[in-house]
Amino acid sequence: MTVLTVTPNPSLDRTYEIPALTRGTVLRAGTDRVDPGGKGVNVSRAVASAGHRTVAVLPLGGPEGALLSHLLGDLGIAVAGVPIQGSTRVNVSLAEPDGALTKINAAGPHIGADESQALLDTVAAEAVERHASWLVCCGSLPRGLADDWYAALVTRARASGVRVALDSSGPALAAALAARPDVVKPNADELAEVVGRPLATVGDAVKAAEQVREAGAGAVLASLGAIGQLLVDATGTYFATAPVAAVRSDVGAGDASLAGFLAEGGARAKALVSAVAHGAAAVQLPGSQMPAPGDLSLDKVSLTTDVPMDLPLSHNVNGAVR
Protein backbone atom coordinates (compact mmCIF):
# COMPACT_ATOMS: atom_id res chain seq x y z
CA MET A 1 0.00 0.00 0.00
CA THR A 2 1.25 3.49 -0.85
CA VAL A 3 -0.25 6.49 0.92
CA LEU A 4 0.19 9.82 -0.82
CA THR A 5 -0.32 12.78 1.48
CA VAL A 6 -0.71 16.42 0.52
CA THR A 7 -0.15 19.17 3.07
CA PRO A 8 -0.65 22.59 1.45
CA ASN A 9 0.44 24.43 4.63
CA PRO A 10 3.15 22.30 6.29
CA SER A 11 5.22 23.48 9.25
CA LEU A 12 8.20 23.02 11.45
CA ASP A 13 6.65 22.22 14.84
CA ARG A 14 8.77 23.63 17.66
CA THR A 15 7.75 22.38 21.13
CA TYR A 16 9.01 23.99 24.36
CA GLU A 17 8.37 22.10 27.60
CA ILE A 18 7.84 24.79 30.27
CA PRO A 19 7.05 24.55 34.01
CA ALA A 20 4.00 26.83 33.75
CA LEU A 21 2.55 29.35 31.32
CA THR A 22 2.66 32.82 32.87
CA ARG A 23 1.59 35.72 30.68
CA GLY A 24 3.88 38.73 30.34
CA THR A 25 7.05 37.01 31.61
CA VAL A 26 10.19 35.42 30.14
CA LEU A 27 9.60 31.67 30.17
CA ARG A 28 12.62 29.35 30.28
CA ALA A 29 12.11 26.06 28.50
CA GLY A 30 13.38 22.82 30.04
CA THR A 31 13.65 20.90 26.79
CA ASP A 32 12.75 21.76 23.27
CA ARG A 33 12.36 19.79 20.08
CA VAL A 34 11.51 20.36 16.47
CA ASP A 35 9.34 17.95 14.49
CA PRO A 36 8.41 18.00 10.82
CA GLY A 37 4.80 19.16 10.93
CA GLY A 38 1.51 19.72 9.21
CA LYS A 39 -1.27 17.19 9.31
CA GLY A 40 -0.43 15.32 6.10
CA VAL A 41 3.25 15.27 6.99
CA ASN A 42 2.32 13.66 10.32
CA VAL A 43 0.15 11.08 8.56
CA SER A 44 3.11 10.21 6.33
CA ARG A 45 5.38 9.88 9.37
CA ALA A 46 2.94 7.53 11.14
CA VAL A 47 2.18 5.50 7.99
CA ALA A 48 5.94 5.05 7.48
CA SER A 49 6.28 3.93 11.12
CA ALA A 50 3.56 1.36 10.47
CA GLY A 51 5.70 -0.06 7.67
CA HIS A 52 3.84 1.24 4.61
CA ARG A 53 5.12 3.27 1.67
CA THR A 54 4.30 6.96 1.68
CA VAL A 55 5.09 10.12 -0.24
CA ALA A 56 4.49 13.60 1.18
CA VAL A 57 3.58 16.31 -1.33
CA LEU A 58 4.12 19.79 0.06
CA PRO A 59 5.17 23.32 -0.84
CA LEU A 60 8.63 24.15 0.48
CA GLY A 61 10.19 27.59 0.83
CA GLY A 62 13.02 29.39 2.61
CA PRO A 63 15.45 27.91 5.15
CA GLU A 64 12.50 26.48 7.12
CA GLY A 65 11.37 24.56 4.05
CA ALA A 66 14.90 23.22 3.54
CA LEU A 67 15.04 22.05 7.18
CA LEU A 68 11.60 20.42 6.90
CA SER A 69 12.70 18.51 3.81
CA HIS A 70 15.94 17.51 5.53
CA LEU A 71 14.13 16.24 8.67
CA LEU A 72 11.75 14.18 6.55
CA GLY A 73 14.68 12.79 4.58
CA ASP A 74 16.31 11.73 7.88
CA LEU A 75 13.12 9.80 8.68
CA GLY A 76 13.29 8.07 5.30
CA ILE A 77 10.12 9.70 4.04
CA ALA A 78 9.91 10.47 0.33
CA VAL A 79 9.10 14.13 -0.28
CA ALA A 80 7.67 15.57 -3.48
CA GLY A 81 8.39 19.22 -2.74
CA VAL A 82 7.03 22.12 -4.79
CA PRO A 83 9.34 25.17 -4.49
CA ILE A 84 7.55 28.36 -3.43
CA GLN A 85 8.53 32.02 -3.05
CA GLY A 86 7.44 32.34 0.59
CA SER A 87 8.87 30.57 3.64
CA THR A 88 7.45 27.45 5.26
CA ARG A 89 5.87 28.37 8.61
CA VAL A 90 7.02 27.52 12.14
CA ASN A 91 4.29 26.54 14.64
CA VAL A 92 5.06 26.73 18.35
CA SER A 93 3.72 24.57 21.21
CA LEU A 94 4.15 25.37 24.90
CA ALA A 95 3.70 22.14 26.86
CA GLU A 96 3.12 22.20 30.63
CA PRO A 97 3.66 19.23 32.97
CA ASP A 98 -0.08 18.74 33.63
CA GLY A 99 -0.67 18.10 29.92
CA ALA A 100 -1.98 21.61 29.14
CA LEU A 101 -0.70 22.72 25.77
CA THR A 102 -0.78 26.17 24.19
CA LYS A 103 -0.23 26.17 20.46
CA ILE A 104 0.49 29.04 18.09
CA ASN A 105 -0.07 28.21 14.44
CA ALA A 106 1.39 30.73 12.00
CA ALA A 107 -0.60 31.76 8.93
CA GLY A 108 2.08 30.42 6.63
CA PRO A 109 3.17 31.66 3.21
CA HIS A 110 0.91 32.95 0.46
CA ILE A 111 0.66 30.42 -2.35
CA GLY A 112 0.58 31.92 -5.84
CA ALA A 113 -1.58 30.65 -8.72
CA ASP A 114 1.38 28.92 -10.43
CA GLU A 115 2.44 27.33 -7.15
CA SER A 116 -1.11 26.09 -6.54
CA GLN A 117 -1.20 24.53 -10.02
CA ALA A 118 2.23 22.96 -9.48
CA LEU A 119 0.96 21.36 -6.25
CA LEU A 120 -2.13 19.95 -8.00
CA ASP A 121 -0.02 18.64 -10.89
CA THR A 122 2.51 17.08 -8.51
CA VAL A 123 -0.24 15.25 -6.62
CA ALA A 124 -1.66 13.92 -9.90
CA ALA A 125 1.75 12.83 -11.21
CA GLU A 126 2.81 11.17 -7.93
CA ALA A 127 -0.52 9.33 -7.63
CA VAL A 128 0.07 7.71 -11.03
CA GLU A 129 3.80 7.11 -10.66
CA ARG A 130 3.55 5.58 -7.17
CA HIS A 131 0.31 3.66 -7.79
CA ALA A 132 -1.16 5.36 -4.72
CA SER A 133 -3.87 3.45 -2.84
CA TRP A 134 -4.87 6.49 -0.82
CA LEU A 135 -4.61 10.23 -1.23
CA VAL A 136 -4.75 11.94 2.16
CA CYS A 137 -5.55 15.67 2.05
CA CYS A 138 -4.79 17.35 5.33
CA GLY A 139 -4.73 20.59 7.24
CA SER A 140 -5.66 24.22 6.79
CA LEU A 141 -5.46 25.87 3.39
CA PRO A 142 -2.79 28.59 3.18
CA ARG A 143 -3.50 32.08 1.89
CA GLY A 144 -3.95 32.07 -1.87
CA LEU A 145 -5.77 28.72 -2.10
CA ALA A 146 -9.55 28.94 -2.57
CA ASP A 147 -11.94 27.14 -0.23
CA ASP A 148 -12.72 24.59 -2.96
CA TRP A 149 -9.06 23.61 -3.47
CA TYR A 150 -9.51 20.26 -1.71
CA ALA A 151 -12.82 19.70 -3.50
CA ALA A 152 -11.03 19.89 -6.87
CA LEU A 153 -8.33 17.52 -5.65
CA VAL A 154 -10.84 14.99 -4.30
CA THR A 155 -12.81 15.04 -7.57
CA ARG A 156 -9.63 14.47 -9.61
CA ALA A 157 -8.36 11.66 -7.38
CA ARG A 158 -11.67 9.81 -7.26
CA ALA A 159 -12.00 10.04 -11.04
CA SER A 160 -8.64 8.26 -11.33
CA GLY A 161 -9.69 5.52 -8.89
CA VAL A 162 -7.62 6.64 -5.89
CA ARG A 163 -9.39 6.50 -2.52
CA VAL A 164 -9.38 9.80 -0.63
CA ALA A 165 -9.20 10.65 3.06
CA LEU A 166 -9.67 14.26 4.11
CA ASP A 167 -8.84 16.00 7.39
CA SER A 168 -9.61 19.68 7.20
CA SER A 169 -12.02 22.13 8.73
CA GLY A 170 -14.43 24.99 8.08
CA PRO A 171 -15.26 26.01 4.50
CA ALA A 172 -12.54 23.75 2.99
CA LEU A 173 -14.12 20.67 4.60
CA ALA A 174 -17.67 21.78 3.79
CA ALA A 175 -16.82 22.43 0.14
CA ALA A 176 -15.07 19.06 -0.30
CA LEU A 177 -17.96 16.90 0.95
CA ALA A 178 -19.89 17.12 -2.33
CA ALA A 179 -16.81 15.66 -4.09
CA ARG A 180 -17.47 12.48 -2.05
CA PRO A 181 -14.25 11.75 -0.14
CA ASP A 182 -14.11 8.12 1.05
CA VAL A 183 -13.22 9.11 4.63
CA VAL A 184 -13.26 12.36 6.56
CA LYS A 185 -11.66 12.75 10.00
CA PRO A 186 -13.10 15.71 11.88
CA ASN A 187 -12.48 16.26 15.58
CA ALA A 188 -15.45 17.27 17.75
CA ASP A 189 -15.04 20.99 17.08
CA GLU A 190 -14.67 20.51 13.32
CA LEU A 191 -17.74 18.24 13.27
CA ALA A 192 -19.76 20.86 15.17
CA GLU A 193 -18.61 23.58 12.79
CA VAL A 194 -19.46 21.68 9.63
CA VAL A 195 -23.03 20.92 10.76
CA GLY A 196 -23.40 24.42 12.22
CA ARG A 197 -24.53 23.52 15.76
CA PRO A 198 -22.89 22.73 19.10
CA LEU A 199 -22.45 19.05 20.03
CA ALA A 200 -22.89 18.14 23.69
CA THR A 201 -22.90 14.33 23.67
CA VAL A 202 -21.60 11.37 21.70
CA GLY A 203 -25.18 10.97 20.41
CA ASP A 204 -25.02 14.50 18.99
CA ALA A 205 -21.73 13.56 17.30
CA VAL A 206 -23.35 10.44 15.77
CA LYS A 207 -26.17 12.55 14.30
CA ALA A 208 -23.67 15.09 12.96
CA ALA A 209 -21.55 12.32 11.42
CA GLU A 210 -24.65 10.88 9.72
CA GLN A 211 -25.38 14.34 8.30
CA VAL A 212 -21.80 14.58 7.01
CA ARG A 213 -22.27 11.22 5.27
CA GLU A 214 -25.50 12.47 3.70
CA ALA A 215 -23.53 15.49 2.44
CA GLY A 216 -21.15 13.14 0.59
CA ALA A 217 -18.53 11.51 2.85
CA GLY A 218 -18.34 7.71 2.59
CA ALA A 219 -17.24 7.27 6.20
CA VAL A 220 -16.77 9.62 9.12
CA LEU A 221 -13.98 8.88 11.58
CA ALA A 222 -14.66 11.43 14.33
CA SER A 223 -11.94 11.85 16.92
CA LEU A 224 -13.39 12.96 20.24
CA GLY A 225 -10.24 13.76 22.22
CA ALA A 226 -9.91 11.93 25.56
CA ILE A 227 -13.25 10.16 25.01
CA GLY A 228 -12.10 8.11 22.01
CA GLN A 229 -13.39 7.82 18.48
CA LEU A 230 -16.52 7.21 16.51
CA LEU A 231 -16.77 5.55 13.10
CA VAL A 232 -19.95 5.99 11.10
CA ASP A 233 -19.90 4.24 7.74
CA ALA A 234 -22.17 2.25 5.43
CA THR A 235 -21.92 -0.81 7.72
CA GLY A 236 -22.96 0.93 10.94
CA THR A 237 -21.77 2.98 13.89
CA TYR A 238 -18.84 1.97 16.10
CA PHE A 239 -17.27 3.56 19.15
CA ALA A 240 -13.84 2.80 20.60
CA THR A 241 -11.76 4.10 23.46
CA ALA A 242 -8.43 3.34 25.15
CA PRO A 243 -6.91 4.20 28.53
CA VAL A 244 -4.09 6.73 28.66
CA ALA A 245 -1.81 6.93 31.71
CA ALA A 246 -0.57 10.50 31.19
CA VAL A 247 -0.97 12.93 28.33
CA ARG A 248 2.35 14.46 27.28
CA SER A 249 1.32 16.20 24.04
CA ASP A 250 -1.83 15.72 21.98
CA VAL A 251 -0.41 17.53 18.94
CA GLY A 252 -0.76 15.22 15.95
CA ALA A 253 -2.81 12.59 17.83
CA GLY A 254 -5.58 12.97 15.27
CA ASP A 255 -3.10 12.54 12.43
CA ALA A 256 -1.65 9.42 14.06
CA SER A 257 -5.23 8.12 14.36
CA LEU A 258 -5.99 8.68 10.70
CA ALA A 259 -2.74 6.95 9.75
CA GLY A 260 -3.61 4.01 12.00
CA PHE A 261 -7.05 3.81 10.38
CA LEU A 262 -5.63 3.73 6.85
CA ALA A 263 -2.82 1.35 7.78
CA GLU A 264 -5.48 -1.23 8.73
CA GLY A 265 -7.45 -0.97 5.51
CA GLY A 266 -9.41 2.23 6.12
CA ALA A 267 -12.74 0.57 6.90
CA ARG A 268 -14.74 -0.86 9.76
CA ALA A 269 -13.97 -2.00 13.27
CA LYS A 270 -10.40 -3.28 12.88
CA ALA A 271 -9.30 0.02 11.38
CA LEU A 272 -11.07 1.94 14.17
CA VAL A 273 -9.21 -0.09 16.82
CA SER A 274 -5.93 0.75 15.10
CA ALA A 275 -6.94 4.45 14.93
CA VAL A 276 -7.65 4.62 18.67
CA ALA A 277 -4.48 2.70 19.57
CA HIS A 278 -2.46 5.18 17.49
CA GLY A 279 -4.18 8.19 19.10
CA ALA A 280 -3.67 6.87 22.63
CA ALA A 281 -0.01 6.12 21.91
CA ALA A 282 0.60 9.52 20.27
CA VAL A 283 -0.62 11.57 23.25
CA GLN A 284 1.86 9.79 25.51
CA LEU A 285 4.81 10.82 23.33
CA PRO A 286 6.51 14.25 23.36
CA GLY A 287 5.81 16.94 20.75
CA SER A 288 4.19 15.50 17.68
CA GLN A 289 6.25 12.33 17.73
CA MET A 290 4.36 9.61 15.85
CA PRO A 291 3.98 6.16 17.44
CA ALA A 292 6.01 3.16 16.30
CA PRO A 293 4.44 -0.34 16.35
CA GLY A 294 6.06 -1.00 19.77
CA ASP A 295 4.20 1.99 21.27
CA LEU A 296 0.77 0.56 20.42
CA SER A 297 -1.48 -1.31 22.89
CA LEU A 298 -4.13 -2.73 20.58
CA ASP A 299 -5.36 -5.11 23.29
CA LYS A 300 -6.26 -2.15 25.54
CA VAL A 301 -8.77 -0.70 23.04
CA SER A 302 -12.46 -1.26 23.89
CA LEU A 303 -14.71 -1.42 20.85
CA THR A 304 -18.50 -1.44 20.84
CA THR A 305 -21.50 -0.96 18.55
CA ASP A 306 -23.49 -0.10 21.68
CA VAL A 307 -22.49 3.56 21.39
CA PRO A 308 -22.68 5.56 24.68
CA MET A 309 -25.03 8.17 23.22
CA ASP A 310 -25.46 10.16 26.46
CA LEU A 311 -21.73 10.47 27.20
CA PRO A 312 -20.80 14.18 27.28
CA LEU A 313 -18.10 15.33 24.90
CA SER A 314 -15.20 16.88 26.76
CA HIS A 315 -12.74 19.44 25.45
CA ASN A 316 -8.98 19.17 25.34
CA VAL A 317 -7.35 19.57 28.75
CA ASN A 318 -7.02 23.35 28.42
CA GLY A 319 -10.23 23.84 26.45
CA ALA A 320 -8.20 24.75 23.37
CA VAL A 321 -9.50 24.17 19.88
CA ARG A 322 -6.68 23.07 17.73
Ligand X SMILES: Nc1ncnc2c1ncn2[C@@H]1O[C@H](COP(=O)(O)OP(=O)(O)OP(=O)(O)O)[C@@H](O)[C@H]1O
Catalytic residues: 255
Nearest residue to 174 (alpha-carbon basis) of 138, 143, 212, 207: 212
Closest CA to 212 of 233, 189, 238, 236: 233
- Measured from the CB atom, is 174 or 206 closer to ligand F1X? 174
268/202 Cα distance (integer angstroms): 18
Phi, psi dihedrals of residue 159, rounded to the nearest 5°: -65, -25
224 binds, among ligand X, ligand F1X, none (CB under 5 to 8 A by kind): ligand X
Q: Which residues contact 117 (CB under 8 A, 6 or more apart)?
A: none
Q: Could you tell me the smallest distance in angstroms from the CB atom of residue 116 to ligand X?
A: 24
**260 touches, from ligand F1X, ligand X, none (C-beta below 5 to 8 Å by class):** none
Among 226, 292, 307, 309, binds ligand X (CB under 6 A): 226
- Nearest Cα neighbor of 33 from 58, 11, 12 is 12
**Cα gap 303→228, rounded to integer Å:** 10
One symbol per residue from 105 to 144: x for binding ligand F1X (CB under 6 A), - otherwise; what is it?
x---------------------------------xx----
Residues 222-261 interacting with ligand F1X (rule: CB under 6 A): 251-252, 254-255
Does position 285 bind ligand X by CB under 6 A? no
> Using the 8-state DSSP alphabet, how is residue 20 labeled?
-
CB under 8 Å to 33, separation ≥6 — which residues?
14, 15, 286, 287
Residue 51 Cβ vs ligand X, minimum distance, rounded to whole Å = 21
- Contact residues toward ligand F1X (CB under 6 A) are 9, 11, 13, 37-39, 42, 91, 105, 139-140, 251-252, 254-255, 288
Binding site for ligand X (CB under 6 A): 187, 223-226, 228-229, 244, 247, 250-255, 257, 276, 279-280, 283, 317, 322
